[in-house]
Amino acid sequence: MTTQLNRECKPASAQLAIYHPYPGTKLYYRSLEEGFLKNPFQHHFFHGKERQESILEQNQFPKERVMQLYEQFRSEFNKSY
């Protein structure tokens, strides 16, 4: 897991981003096909928060869990992004 690797490596700094499917990419179209992206125009309304909030709807990895892990990583490594 990424968190464990960071614990072992003890980096001076770390960057954290949440996956964001950009229009025109293969993963964007796959996200649409798989039903993970409910609103194909949602990226127009993200106002610079892409990679800081999840826009994908996945039963096996809900938005709430993504945000929980995001905040856990940030707090553990005491970084403000």
pLDDT tens for each residue of 6-52: 888 888 777 778 888 888 899 989 999 999 987 767 655 555 665 66
User: pTM for this structure?
Assistant: 0.65
Q: Are 51 and 45 in contact (CB under 8 A)?
A: no
Q: Band of the pLDDT at 81, cuts 50, 70, 90?
A: very low
Higher-scoring residue by pLDDT: 37, 79 = 37
Mutual orientation of helices 63-76 and 2-9 as an angle, nearest 10°?
0
pLDDT tens for each residue of 49-58: 656 678 888 8
pLDDT value for 11: 80
Angle at 36 between CA 17 and CA 49, to 5 degrees: 35
**Residue 3's closest CA among 79, 80, 55, 72?**
72
Q: Measured between alpha carbons, how far is 64 from 62 in angstroms, rounded to an integer?
A: 5
